[in-house]
C-alpha cells in the first residue's frame, strides 16, 4: 500500500488484526510507516545496503511528526545509499557495550564445571574489587587501567591482587571468544590483563609452609578443647571450634569440611564421603574414634558445620583461631592445620602415600601405588587415621599432666 505520508494519512491508518501493516510513501522511495495490532505507528526506512535488505526504525508517530520523519528518512536513506549499514552498526554497538557484570553472568552460566567457591570468588571480585568497572563496557577496560588498579590492590594484598586479576583475565578471555561484532570480529582485540605478564607485574607469592609445631600440638589442642567446652561459648563459636578440631583430626581442606552434609556421613560405618572434592575424584574416608566422638555432639541439620543460617555452611572460623593465637602465640590458618596433620602423620611413622590418600591428595610419581591401590574407598586406612588422631589427643593429655593450660577469659 502506498500513500503520501502526512499527519492526516497516518492517523487514518487502521491497525491489522495480526502481524504488521506496511505503508510506503509515494514521494520518497524507501520511506514508510509500520502499524501493529496495538495501534502503534512507527516511521521506517528500508533499502538494500551492500546487497542486503535493511530496515531501520526512525521513531514513533507520537514522538515524530510526519515531516520530521521525512527529513530524517532523507538523511538515513542517503547514508544507506553510501553503504552505511545502520542495522550492523546498531548490533556492533550492542556487542561493544556488553558490561563486565554481563560477561560474568554469561561466564558463570556457561562454565558449569566451576565449584561454588570459585563462583563466589569471581562474584566477590567483580562486585567489590572491580566495582567501578562492573556496569561499564568491558571495552573500556584498558591496559593502563589494569596496571594502575593492580598496583593499588598489590599495596595491601599481593595475593588477592593476583587472584582478582586472574579471574578478570578469565572473564575477558571469555568475552573475546563469546562476544562478536556483526563482522565476526572479537570485541576485544587483546586481553588488557596481558599487560601484567608483559610488564612482569604479577606478584611472586612465597608459598606458606607454616603449621602448628609438632612439639606444641598438645598445648594448641588443649586450648582448642577449652574453647569447645566453654559453657559460655555461643552456638556459632562452638561450630567454629568444632570445625577447627575436625580439620586438625582429618587433614581435610576447609571447603571439604565446611560443605560436608550429614547425608554423606555414615556414623555406623565410621566413614564420610566427599562427593566433589578439589581433585574431582569422589572418595570415602575413614573417621577416627576422636572424630566420631566430635560428630556425636554436633546437632543434626543439613550441614555438619552450618553457618548462622542453617541452610548454608559455616564460612569463617578465624575468630576461633585468633583466640587460640592469643592464648598460645601460635597463629595459623585452616590450611595450616592440613600441614600440621601431615607433620603429625610423619611423627607417627605413617608412609607418605597413605598420608596423601587420607588428605585426599592425588598420588603422583609412583605409578605402581596409584595403579594397584584403592584410592576411592579408604576404610583400610582406619588404623592410620586413629593413630594420627590418637597422637594429637595423647599430646593433649601429656600437656595436661605437665602443665595445665589456662585459657584467657576471651568469649565468643
Contacts of 352 (CB under 8 A, 6+ apart): 346
List, as one string, the DSSP characters of 237-254. Answer: HHHHHHHHHHHHHH---H
Assess whether pLDDT exceeds 90 at residue 97: no
CATH number of 100-198: 1.10.150
Q: Distance between CA atoms of 10 and 396, rounded to whole angstroms?
A: 91
Per-residue pLDDT reduced to its tens digit, 391-409:
999 998 877 655 544 445 4
Q: Distance between CA atoms of 407 and 326, rounded to whole angstroms?
A: 9
Helices assigned H by DSSP within 232-351? 235-250, 254-258, 289-296, 318-328, 334-347
Per-residue pLDDT reduced to its tens digit, 319-338:
999 999 999 999 999 999 99
Q: When comparing pLDDT for 155 and 375, which is higher?
A: 155
Assess whether pLDDT exceeds 60 at residue 201: yes
| CA distances for 348 relative to 215, 290, 351, angstroms | 13, 16, 9
CATH number of 214-402: 1.10.443.10
Domain residues of the chain, as ranges? 2-84, 100-198, 214-402
Q: What percent of the chain has pLDDT over 90?
A: 76
Helix 217-228, helix 382-402: angle, nearest 10: 90
pLDDT for the residue 207: 62
Assess whether pLDDT exceeds 60 at residue 124: yes
Helix H, strand E, coil C: the string for 364-376 is CCCHHHHHHCCCC
What's the rounded mean pLDDT across residues 303-316? 94
The overall average pLDDT reported for the chain is 90
Assess whether pLDDT exceeds 80 at residue 366: no
| Partners of 35 in beta bridges | 21, 41
Range among 180-189, 207-216, 230-239, 372-381 with highest mean pLDDT value:
230-239
Per-residue pLDDT reduced to its tens digit, 55-92:
889 999 989 999 999 999 999 999 888 888 877 777 77
pLDDT for the residue 82: 86
pLDDT band at 372 (very low <50, low <70, confident <90, very high): low
Per-residue pLDDT reduced to its tens digit, 221-276:
999 999 999 999 999 999 999 999 999 999 999 999 999 999 999 999 999 999 88
In this structure, the chain runs to a length of 412
Assess whether pLDDT exceeds 50 at residue 381: yes
pLDDT band at 197 (very low <50, low <70, confident <90, very high): very high
pLDDT for the residue 229: 93
* Predicted TM-score (pTM) above 0.75: no
CATH number of 2-84: 3.30.160.390
**In the structure grid, which three cell numbers stand for residue 60, read together?**
514513533
pLDDT for the residue 106: 95
| Partners of 54 in beta bridges | 47
Interior CA angle at 256 toward 130 and 313, to 5°?
70
Tell me the longest C-alpha to C-alpha distance in the chain.
106
Q: What percent of the chain has pLDDT over 70?
A: 92
pLDDT band at 305 (very low <50, low <70, confident <90, very high): very high
Per-residue pLDDT reduced to its tens digit, 157-166:
999 999 999 9
Q: Distance between CA atoms of 37 and 92, rounded to whole angstroms?
A: 30
pLDDT for the residue 407: 47
pLDDT for the residue 374: 84
Phi, psi of 26, rounded to the nearest 5 degrees? -80, -20
Count other C-beta atoms under 10 Å from residue 58's C-beta.
Answer: 21
Amino acid at each position: 500500500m502506498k500513500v503520501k505520508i502526512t499527519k492526516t494519512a497516518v492517523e487514518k491508518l487502521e491497525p491489522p488484526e495480526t502481524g504488521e501493516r506496511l505503508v510506503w510513501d509515494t514521494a520518497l522511495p524507501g520511506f514508510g510507516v509500520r502499524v501493529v495490532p496495538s495501534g502503534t505507528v512507527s516511521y521506517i526506512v528500508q533499502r538494500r545496503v551492500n546487497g542486503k535488505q535493511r530496515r531501520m526504525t526512525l521513531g514513533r508517530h507520537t514522538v515524530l511528526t510526519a515531516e520530521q520523519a521525512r527529513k530524517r528518512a532523507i538523511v538515513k536513506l542517503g547514508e544507506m545509499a553510501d553503504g552505511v549499514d545502520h542495522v550492523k552498526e546498531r548490533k556492533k554497538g550492542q556487542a561493544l557495550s556488553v558490561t563486565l557484570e554481563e560477561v560474568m553472568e554469561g561466564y558463570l552460566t556457561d562454565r558449569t564445571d566451576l565449584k561454588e567457591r570459585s563462583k563466589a570468588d569471581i562474584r566477590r571480585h567483580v562486585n567489590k574489587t572491580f566495582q567501578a568497572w562492573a556496569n561499564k563496557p568491558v571495552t573500556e577496560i584498558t591496559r593502563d587501567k589494569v596496571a594502575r588498579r593492580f598496583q593499588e590492590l598489590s599495596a595491601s594484598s599481593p595475593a588477592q591482587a593476583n587472584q582478582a586479576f586472574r579471574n578478570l583475565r578469565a572473564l575477558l578471555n571469555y568475552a573475546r571468544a563469546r562476544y562478536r561484532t556483526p563482522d565476526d570480529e572479537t570485541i576485544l582485540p587483546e586481553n588488557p590483563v596481558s599487560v601484567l605478564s608483559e610488564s612482569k607485574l604479577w606478584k611472586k607469592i612465597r608459598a606458606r609452609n607454616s603449621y602448628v609445631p609438632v612439639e606444641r600440638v598438645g598445648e594448641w589442642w588443649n586450648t582448642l578443647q577449652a574453647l569447645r567446652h566453654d559453657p559460655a561459648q555461643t552456638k556459632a563459636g562452638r561450630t567454629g571450634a568444632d570445625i577447627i578440631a575436625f580439620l586438625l583430626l582429618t587433614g581435610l581442606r576447609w571447603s571439604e569440611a565446611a560443605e560436608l552434609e550429614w547425608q554423606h556421613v555414615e556414623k555406623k560405618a565410621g566413614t564420610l564421603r566427599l562427593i566433589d572434592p578439589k581433585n574431582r575424584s569422589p572418595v570415602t574416608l575413614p573417621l577416627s574414634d576422636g572424630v566420631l566422638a566430635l560428630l556425636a555432639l554436633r546437632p543434626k541439620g543439613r550441614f555438619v558445620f552450618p553457618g548462622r543460617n542453617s541452610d548454608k555452611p559455616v564460612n569463617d572460623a578465624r575468630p576461633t583461631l585468633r583466640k587460640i593465637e592469643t592464648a598460645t602465640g601460635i597463629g595459623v590458618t585452616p590450611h595450616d592445620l592440613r600441614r600440621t596433620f601431615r607433620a603429625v602423620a610423619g611423627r607417627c611413622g605413617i608412609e607418605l602415600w597413605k598420608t596423601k590418600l587420607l588428605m585426599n591428595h592425588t598420588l603422583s610419581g609412583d605409578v605402581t601405588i596409584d595403579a594397584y591401590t584403592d584410592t576411592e574407598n579408604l576404610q583400610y586406612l582406619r588404623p592410620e587415621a586413629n593413630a594420627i588422631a590418637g597422637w594429637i589427643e595423647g599430646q593433649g593429655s601429656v600437656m595436661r599432666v605437665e602443665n595445665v593450660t589456662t585459657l584467657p577469659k576471651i568469649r565468643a
